[in-house]
Structure 1
């Protein structure tokens, strides 16, 4: 999905779920640099001395069905591509197991509030996960190696 200003310059999607009186909309904004130097600025912006760039919004309800993004299909296409398969195969073996292990240990949600406390609880959960890995996969041999080293 893209949008161009009346001068033909590209605009960026600043929000894909803005709320205007209960109606969802896409919001596009012009780049500040483009708006400052634009020859049609007087026709495009509400005020001649306006500092903010042009912005437009398009309501979901008024958009043709074919222009609405199907996020599930976009993600399926991304994962099914050759690069997506390569990236997500790494993720499945690296990033997902810790969450499964933590859930197995009963840690399904944070019990504290506040960023600092939640960060502390997350670090403790990660430490517990790592200790469990050491115990399961190398605790005994690790202890033997440490004894030999001493």
Structure 2
């Protein structure tokens, strides 16, 4: 889970760092803050539940906190090397975005939601299952709305 979120954060940082228009950067900052908040909560919960020592938990938290700024710095550095409107740059950016989004969706469904939805507390209550399904759909709809806006 940590590795997938780290890769995703670097790619998102690259996209933001490579953007040169304020009209593009403002929505990216809003989307980045919004979804990094929920990634951090999900990952933080997993890190706290893991049977790691304080040192390993600190390292995992450090990597989560620094990968997006690293990606932004890398994106800013790369803006001098390539043209962001060239077909090659657009294809590479599209592939990186697609891979990171697919990786994040897989991790969310398999690593996070499956464990919660298959737990005994949720399996024993139909009402809780319905509320949980509604919350997942509401969250996915909110993220989709944010993606359309950004």
Tell me the TM-score normalised to structure 1 length: 0.22
Structure number with higher strand proportion? 1
Q: Larger relative contact order (C-alpha < 8 A, sep ≥ 6)?
A: 2
Tell me the TM-score normalised to structure 2 length: 0.22
